[in-house]
Amino acid sequence: MNKKCFFTAIANSKELGLFINYTLPSLLSKNNIPSISNKNNTEYLIWTSDDYVDTLSKSNGIAQLCNYLNVNIKGVSRYFFMGKESLVTSALYRGMLENSQKENFGVFSIQPDVIWADGTILKIDKKANEGIRVILAGSILTRSKHVLDTLKTSDNHAGEILSVPPRKLVQILLDDEHPITSSQIIDNRNFSTWPNSIYWPLGDQGYLMRTTELHPLYVHPKNYVTNFKKSFADDFLKMAVPEEEDYYIANNSDEIFLVRTDFGESSKGIPDRINIANETFFGLWLNNYCTARDRDNLKHHIWLHKGINIADWRSSINHSNIFIQKSISFSKAFEKQTTT
């Protein structure tokens, strides 16, 4: 069994707060980090600005995490954290990967603004132990800060735990739908102008998601790659693990599920006038803003639900297939037009 590490890059104070208050407590739920195998061969690396090391080191969550894993917090000069966040995040990943690839580590990529459903880390760990090299999943936004806060439990002030089973997490999303998610529902009359994901409702039971963005949750590089140009999720991944057979796409929230803690701050793509979803617009959007790989991600059906029999929802699969296939055809036609 190969060595593994968890890695989190924290680029700013907002991410620091979300990591300490939500990501870390959710990782500490019973069926996440506390239940993974081979803890002696696994460590947690957190790379961030010098400015945040003290706050992190003194947090109860980190103290609790140390009960399960060796935790290594590395501070980097604060001056590199004052420009565009994505650039410093990619640089931190480059630094981490340079070392971890030498050690043949499998890397759990833990973004600092994510809540992990209880059991997700355990499932990823099992898949990794089966030899899967890359695990990809979609993500959805939540704005339910208050509800999530009430679910936190504390054990003698030793640190908070946020243990939310996947179906309950879906229920929270449905009860207080994020405006961006609402705008991306296929039959919304105010359909998104930035449809990076599109949702087909499953009654009041959840969503069928088709998305251009799949995040690498776990990567065990096959090829040693340094000096990638863009990001961990983009060119690094393609070079480090080139064969599709090494990839596993998480397509059911019962198995692997995470939400992004945006808490309603973002309104990207929410239109201020009526906008009906149609294949021509989506095709053009794909052509303008997406890579071939992003378009390829749309072929997966991702079920986010409270407990359904997928066989009962064949019609949603068909509807979404027709929409996605037509859109991709338009996109290819636009691409051809542009090239000629």
Residues that bind another protein (CB under 8 A): 76-77, 79-80, 82-84, 87-88, 90-91, 94-95, 98, 226-230, 267, 272
Nearer of residues 80 and 194 to another protein, judged by Cβ? 80
Nearer of residues 256 and 270 to another protein, judged by Cβ? 270
Nearer of residues 91 and 147 to another protein, judged by Cβ? 91
**Among 208, 176, 188, 244, CA closest to 318:** 208
Q: Is the dihedral of CA 239, 243, 245, 251 positive or negative?
A: positive
Q: d(Cα 335, Cα 193) in Å, to the nearest integer?
A: 20
> Smallest distance, Å, CB 95 to another protein?
3
Asked if residue 71 lies in contact with residue 65, where contact means CB atoms within 8 angstroms, the answer is yes
> Smallest distance, Å, CB 97 to another protein?
9
> Smallest distance, Å, CB 92 to another protein?
8
Nearer of residues 67 and 226 to another protein, judged by Cβ? 226
Helix (H) or strand (E) holding 254: none
From residue 50, alpha-carbon distances to 11, 80, 199, 222 in Å are: 11, 10, 41, 32
> Smallest distance, Å, CB 152 to another protein?
30
User: What residues are paired with 199 via a beta bridge?
Assistant: 185, 209
Nearer of residues 96 and 122 to another protein, judged by Cβ? 96
305: Cα separation from own chain's centroid: 17
> Smallest distance, Å, CB 192 to another protein?
15
Nearer of residues 192 and 316 to another protein, judged by Cβ? 192
Q: How far apart are the first and last CA of the chain?
A: 51
> Smallest distance, Å, CB 268 to another protein?
10
73: Cα separation from own chain's centroid: 22
Helix (H) or strand (E) holding 47: strand 42-49
Burial of residue 94 (CB within 10 Å: 0-12, 13-18, 19+) is: middle
